């Protein structure tokens, strides 16, 4: 081809940003139970509803989600705060195991509840590789209908998963987490997004101080993932030229908070 020739028209470049990545045509990936919660009116547009785009990401590109979650590590104070040895732990919305891997050694029995099949597969693979395959049971379920009996666990926890919205917890989901927690046990919401809502329901807040950064696998990873998930910060990530990026550069609240409630004995 000479320099004066225009490139042959090809398929349009796929949209990179999470907010542009999927379309309504992708909603068919949801199971009936998922669709009932995430698209209750039967339709939705992930280009106008980023919460829906995240749900599609978990199902269509779970490894991409895992790369992001692996980089956004929790403040070590959270692991220090959680009980070291308990009999039973239930985690809801376990994803690919950012918290589950930490919990695995702490309970005699750990149940990780996760609705998205592709995330459950990655979580099972990671648990098996770490030798926790026997101790941690990974099951399908939703906040508002936990597949666990009353008073099941000493610790019931959700990390970056619970919100006041009914599709992602809400009143019914919180009631379910408390139902599954034994009297005297603890319900903990890690990296909560609505502290006021939880505090109005008797939850206390703990925050761990200090600078926090996202630890991407490489500089190239930092740029790629910023372009997808934090496009407004991508220029600054490029300029910094580092795989370690402070949370404030990305414009997100660092995972340093938790809210908890002791269930009355």
* Residues forming the site for ligand SAM (CB under 6 A): 37, 58, 69, 92-95, 98-99, 114-116, 119, 142-143, 159-161, 167-168
d(CA 220, CA 223): 5
Torsion 131-85-76-233 (CA) sign = positive
Whichever of 89 and 161 has its CB closer to ligand SAM, that residue is 161
To ligand SAM, the closest distance from the beta carbon of 1 in angstroms equals 45
To ligand SAM, the closest distance from the beta carbon of 125 in angstroms equals 15
Whichever of 119 and 263 has its CB closer to ligand SAM, that residue is 119
What are the b/e assignments for 81-108, b being 16+ CB within 10 Å?
ebeeebebbbbbbbbbbbbbbbbbebbe
d(CA 21, CA 4): 33
Whichever of 121 and 240 has its CB closer to ligand SAM, that residue is 121
Whichever of 98 and 261 has its CB closer to ligand SAM, that residue is 98
To ligand SAM, the closest distance from the beta carbon of 35 in angstroms equals 12
Contact 200, 185 (CB under 8 A): no
To ligand SAM, the closest distance from the beta carbon of 76 in angstroms equals 15
Whichever of 160 and 213 has its CB closer to ligand SAM, that residue is 160
Give start and end residues of each alpha helix (H) in the chain: 18-21, 32-38, 50-60, 62-71, 76-81, 100-103, 117-129, 170-180, 195-199, 219-229, 234-240, 247-250
- Of all residues in the shown chain, the one whose CB is closest to ligand SAM is 95
Q: In 3-state terms, what secondary structure has residue 113?
A: strand
Residue 82: closest CA among 61, 103, 53: 103
To ligand SAM, the closest distance from the beta carbon of 146 in angstroms equals 9
What is the greatest pairwise CA distance in the chain? 79
To ligand SAM, the closest distance from the beta carbon of 114 in angstroms equals 5
d(CA 174, CA 223): 37
Whichever of 170 and 236 has its CB closer to ligand SAM, that residue is 170
């Amino acid at each position: 081809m000479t320099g004066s020739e225009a490139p042959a028209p090809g398929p349009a470049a796929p949209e990179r940003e999470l907010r542009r990545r999927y379309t309504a045509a992708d909603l068919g990936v949801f199971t009936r139970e998922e669709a009932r919660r995430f698209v209750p009116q039967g339709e939705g547009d992930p280009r106008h509803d980023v919460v829906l785009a995240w749900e599609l990401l978990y199902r269509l590109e779970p490894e991409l989600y895992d790369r992001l979650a692996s980089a956004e590590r929790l403040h070590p104070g959270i692991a220090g705060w959680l009980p070291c040895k308990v009999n039973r732990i239930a985690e809801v919305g376990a994803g690919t195991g950012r918290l589950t891997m930490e919990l695995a050694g702490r309970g005699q029995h750990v149940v990780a509840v996760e609705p998205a099949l592709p995330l459950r597969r990655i979580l099972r693979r990671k648990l098996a590789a770490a030798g926790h395959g026997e101790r941690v049971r990974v099951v399908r379920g939703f906040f508002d209908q936990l597949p666990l009996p009353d008073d099941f666990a000493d610790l019931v926890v959700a990390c970056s998963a619970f919100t006041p919205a009914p599709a992602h917890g809400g009143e019914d989901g919180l009631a379910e987490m408390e139902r599954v927690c034994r009297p005297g046990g603890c319900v903990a919401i890690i990296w909560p997004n609505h502290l006021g809502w939880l505090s109005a329901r008797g939850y206390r807040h703990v925050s761990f101080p200090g600078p926090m950064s996202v630890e991407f696998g490489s500089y190239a990873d930092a740029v790629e993932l910023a372009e997808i998930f934090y496009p407004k910060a991508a220029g600054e990530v490029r300029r910094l030229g580092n795989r370690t990026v402070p949370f404030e550069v990305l414009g997100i609240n660092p995972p340093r908070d938790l809210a908890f409630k002791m269930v009355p004995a």
